[in-house]
Amino acid sequence: MKKMALYPLVSLALIVCLHPSSTFAQQRELQEKCAKYSDTFDTYDIERWQEVLLYSRGQGTVTVDNGQLVLKASEEEPTEIEVYALFTFLGDFDIQADYDISNQSESKNCRFNVGMVMQTLGDERSYKCYVAKSPQEGLFFRSRMDLSGEKNVEKHKGAPAQKCGKIRIIRKDNVVSFSVLKDNMWTEIYGFQEPCKEKLRLRFKLQTANEEAMWRTCPAVVKFDNFIVNSCDIIVQE
């Protein structure tokens, strides 16, 4: 059992006892500020989100349809679509979102990654939490930690994935973890080993390719919904 110094705890208890209304009010104010950044995607809020197709060969699309954020790949070329949050997290945070990839091509040689990515502002580190598809393995959960966008230093192939579900990303004490909802319980897919205390920005992502020939079609579609900021230490619009 870890030994804990009692003095900070006693001090905190005294602060809460002496100023309970002030402390609770501050906590409530913080949670309200975090929750303000949640999004049900009834509309596309240009003050919250920015689509990026800079690295894509194919021209994909980003729309909001029936209360969902829809990323659709090109039917002609491999595509990389990203929707960046125009806000960042510092310190601990807990976020989640629904995904739906039920409307997919049944092409056996099609492969894709869809999901949520947390990256430092200069993309020095990116923590990737995916539902992936490959010709050999079908749908499965995938985790990656990359340096400078593409240099992979951590990777993990998790359990088989469902076509619809919930992704959750938590940072606690500089450690980022990836979980999914399974049988009404949150199950951790991977806890990243590389710590990170820098500001992190969220991006929703769809990336397609083809196992046999990069120029062939892989018309994947992913729908995101009910983005929720469950908690956060600091959230900043930028």
Domain 38-237 CATH assignment equals 2.60.120.200: yes
Residue 88's φ and ψ, nearest 5 degrees, are -130, 160
Percent of the chain scoring above 90 in pLDDT: 62
What predicted TM-score, i.e. pTM, was given to this entire model?
A: 0.85
pLDDT of 212 strictly over 70: no
pLDDT in the model for residue 138: 86
pLDDT in tens, 152-187: 899 999 999 999 999 999 999 999 999 999 999 999
Residue pair 98/105 in contact (Cβ under 8 Å)? The answer is no
Measure the CA angle with vertex 172, ends 171 and 178; round to 5°.
45
Tokens read off for 22: 């002030």
- Structural domain boundaries in the chain: 38-237
**What band does 7 get if pLDDT is binned at 50, 70 and 90?**
very low
Residue 75's φ and ψ, nearest 5 degrees, are -90, 0
Name the pairing type of β-strands 185-191 and 175-182: antiparallel
